[in-house]
Every structure is written in C-alpha cells, then in structure tokens.
Structure 1
C-alpha cells in the first residue's frame, strides 16, 4: 500500500512537471504574438510552476525513502520544505510581476493579437484546472503537503489566467490598454497571498505545530474502538511527515496485570491505530498503572481491586487526551457536577 501510494504521488507530480513545461512555452508564445504585460506576468509565474514541480518531484521521491541512521523518523519532512520553497518562489514572482506592472502603467506599450493569445491561455486554464484538481484531491487523500501545494499552485494559476482572460476581454471592449497592467498588478497581489499561505503552512509543519484535523482523526479512531481495559489515554501526540504517521501516548492499564498481557493489549492498541492509516505508522505507547481514582470511569467487570463503583464514562476529546495527566481529574469534575 505504501509503495503504491509513493508511486502514485511520483506519477502525479511528474505529470504536473511535464505539463508545466508545455504550458509555460504556450504562454510565452502567447506573449510573443500579443506583447501583453498581463500575459507576460502569467508566463513568468508559470516558470515558477516548472521549478516548483521539479523540486516537488524530488521531495516526494526523497520522502518515500525508508528511514535510516541519519533520519530515524524518515524523510517525510522534506515535503514541508518543498511547500515552503514553492511558496517563497511564488512571493518572489509576485514582487517581480507587480514591479513590472507599475512600470508598464507609467510607460504603456501597444497590445495586439489579443484574441489569438487568449485562445492559448484558455487552453492552459483547462489543463491546469484538471491537473491541479487531481493533485489537490489525491494530496488530501494521502496527506501529502507537496502534492497539495503544487495542486493549489496550479489552481491559483488557473484562477489568475481566468482573470487575465477577463482583462483581455475588457481591453477589447473598451480599448483601454491600462487595464492590462492593472490586472497584472492585482494578479501579483493574489499570488503573494497564496505564496504566504504555503510558507505559513510549511513553517508550521517544520515546527511540528499540531494538526487539529489529524489529531481529531486519531481520537475518533480511539473512541470508535475503545476497549474496557483501555482505562485512560493521555499525553497523546500525533504528527505526519509525508505519508508517515507518528503517534505516541500514555495508556493506563490495570496495575495488577502481568507483563505479557500488557504487551498484548498495547500491541492490539497499536494495530487499531495502524489500520486506520494507509501509510507507514510508527507508534510509541507508554503503559501507566491505574490508580484508585480511575475506578469512577473504569468499565472492567469483576475487577479484584476495585475501590469505587463505576459512575460514568469520560468523553475522550482531543483537548483532554493531549494533556499530560490522567483523566481522573476530568472524572472529578464530572462527579462534582
């Protein structure tokens, strides 16, 4: 499953790379026959697509490599770096485009053959939208930030090209050539915003910021498969690097159990989490002995050391399970209520 996912990611990003080269060539040809600043801006931004797709392809290849002595947690974090690199390139391109747009506003040049140039741009919109949508959907499915970033880049490229077509249409209707540079300036601002979003997400990933959606998915899996002997889970942490998922937590079990039974229970606990994720999953579980306060929410039948009757379950939520403390504090609050 993991090998197939990596091959799929590599094929998709390779498709994006090849398409970027072809479409960039078409856009520069469209600029050649029109001398449109807006079309030039779109073509220059497409160069970023080529560079970014090439780097994304390498990052996906590297993230698929198994962990080694120098990288004990694997190579998946390179996808965060790839997304940040792509975002930075987009911001640089937006600055260049904005500066060029201001220059053209101050010193306008004639525009020609807009209808023919728009035909080429319309074709690139269709191709970019199709490939970008595929990258976005597959990237979200396999949780690949590199695929998502490249897909989002292509979709933003399509949106900007639509804006370009609209501006060309306005120029043809009104004859106002300055619309070309103004639309290019707006395009630059739009690109800067998208680039900033990618860089922010990249930095968050490199800094191991919590992924609330991922954490909620892990907690939901635990809720759906909760066993009576899983008395308590706390200090839960989950991080995903590429397709690799890393989870560690503390699991409270009956203090009188033998080591073999503890081992088997933890093994089953890990397998349930692994089965919920299609990629490679690495789990570290620290076994904690139960305390008498746990009796209030412990569902083990015929417990030989029970000191209090069961009162009620404590709802497992992401907010409570990430705390580095047993849930008997939560139980005390519920009992008092």
Structure 2
C-alpha cells in the first residue's frame, strides 16, 4: 500500500512537470508574438514552475527512501529543503522581472498580435489553475510539503496571469503602453510574497514544528481513553517531518506492575494512535509512579 502511494506521488510530480513545460511553452509563445514585458514576466514565472516541479520530483523520491544508519529517522525532511529551494527560485524570478519592468519604464513598447497573445496566455493559465486545484488536493491528502509548495506557486501564477491579462486588455483599449511595465512590477511583488510564504512554511518544518492543535487534542484523547491501568501520561511532544508525525511521551504506571503488563498498555495505546493519526512514529517512555508530575496534561 505504501509502495503504491509512493509511486502515485512520483507520477503526480511527473505530471506536474509535464504540465509546467506545456504552460511555459504557451507563455513564451504569447510573449514572443506580443513583445509584452508583462507577458515576459509571466513566462519567467513559469520557468520557476518547471524548476519547482523538477525539485519536487527529486525531493519526493529522496523522501521515500527508508531510514538507514546515517539517517535513522528517515529522509522525510528532504521535501522541506525542496520547498526552501523553490522559495529562493521564486524570489530570484521576481528580481529578474523587476529588472525588466524598470527597463520597460524607460522604453515602453507593446507590439503586434495582442489579442492572440492574450488568448494563448489565458489558455495556459486555465490549464495551470485546473492542475493547481488537483495538485493541492493530492498534496494535502499525502501531506507532501514539496507538492504543496508546487501547488501554491501555481495558484500564485494563476493570480499573476489573470492580473496581467486584465491589464493588457486595458493597454489594447487605451493605448497606454506604460501599463505594461507597471503590470510586470506588480507581478514581481506578488511573486515575492509567494516566495516568502513558501520559505516561511518550510522553515517551520525544518525546525520540527508541532502538530496542529486539533491533532494534538486527538492524540491526548486517544491516550486518555486507551491507557487503562496506567496512572498518568506527561511530557507529550509532537513534531512534523513531511508526511510523518512523531509522538513522544512518558507513561507512568504503578511500581508493582509487571513489565509485560506495562508493555501491553503501550501496545494498546500505540495501536489506537496509529488508527487515529496517519503515518505516525511513536516513542513511549515507561516510568514508575514516583515519577508522576501530576501536571494534569493527561491523567488516565
């Protein structure tokens, strides 16, 4: 089952790359037949989409490697590094677009076939939007930071292109060519904001961010409901690493309880936690009753 999911994730990442290349080709075509700086900036953002998709494939493949002696907790954080790289690429693209926008302010120009260029670009962004919706749903399902970063950037691309198309339509109607570099600068600002968001989210994962409050509540409820025979659970800690959730806590049992009975309680709690939380790794430290903290975190 896990192998099937891994293969499916790689297939999805490959589809994202193929769609990125198609969209890039369409946007370059639109830019070439119009000479629009705004459409150039839009095409440059799609270059980032392609790099993002390639990075996602590498990261997803690496994250699926089993744990080994070098990395006993697995390779799951590889996807966070991928997302950071994507964020940096997005920012680089924004800087290049700003450069073109500044040059365009001094030599505003909008050449031939504007309607054809707008139609081609609209087709590309429609494809991007439809795939972005499907990709984000899948990324959330498998909890893939790399695919989620890819999907979020696709949506940023869609918003940017929509703004460019509306603005260029005004250029065609009004003849104000100065709007072209202004639109390019606005696209760059939007891309910068997107890049910052991707980096911020990824750094949280690299810093071992805790699970969301709703997941933590589920974990506490499961422990409280299934640790019959124990006295207390404390020092509950969680962290997220890609699709994996790590759970650690101390379980206090009566001092006279046998090792076998304590082990049975741990097995029962672990089994229920695996049913309640997907892709989880659990560490339980059993302690005698004199180690109880009576802190009220979880009392069973």
Which band: TM-score by shorter chain? over 0.9
| Aligned equivalents of 2:147, 2:271: Cα separation in 1 | 28
- 1:81-119 C-alpha deviation (Å, 9 max, x unpaired): 000000000001001101210110112123321110111
Give the conservation status (yes or no) of the 8 Å contact 1:56–1:146: yes
Give 1:223's aligned residue: 221
Give the conservation status (yes or no) of the 8 Å contact 1:111–1:177: no
Please report how far the alpha carbon of residue 209 of structure 1 lies from its aligned counterpart in structure 2 after TM superposition: 2.8
Give 1:140's aligned residue: 140
| Aligned equivalents of 1:192, 1:286: Cα separation in 2 | 45
Please report how far the alpha carbon of residue 151 of structure 1 lies from its aligned counterpart in structure 2 after TM superposition: 0.5
Deviates more, 1:116-125 or 1:223-232: 223-232
TM-score under structure 2 normalisation? 0.93
The 3-state SS of whatever aligns with 1:108 is coil
Give the conservation status (yes or no) of the 8 Å contact 2:33–2:113: yes
Deviates more, 1:131-140 or 1:105-114: 105-114
- 1:163-198 C-alpha deviation (Å, 9 max, x unpaired): 111111111221111111111101101100110111
The 3-state SS of whatever aligns with 1:236 is strand
Please report how far the alpha carbon of residue 218 of structure 1 lies from its aligned counterpart in structure 2 after TM superposition: 3.8
Larger radius of gyration: 1
Give 2:49's aligned residue: 49
CA RMSD of aligned residues (A): 1.8
Give 1:189's aligned residue: 189
User: Superposed, which structure 2 residues align to 1:140-159 within 5 Å?
Assistant: 140-159=140-159
> Is 2:290 the partner of 1:274?
no
Tell me the matched-pair count: 295
| Aligned equivalents of 2:197, 2:285: Cα separation in 1 | 36
Give the conservation status (yes or no) of the 8 Å contact 2:144–2:242: yes
Please report how far the alpha carbon of residue 232 of structure 1 lies from its aligned counterpart in structure 2 after TM superposition: 2.2
The 3-state SS of whatever aligns with 2:282 is strand
| Aligned equivalents of 1:31, 1:240: Cα separation in 2 | 42
The 3-state SS of whatever aligns with 2:200 is helix
Structure 2: unaligned runs, 5 residues or longer: none
- Give structure 1 regions of 4+ aligned residues with deviation exceeding 4 angstroms: none
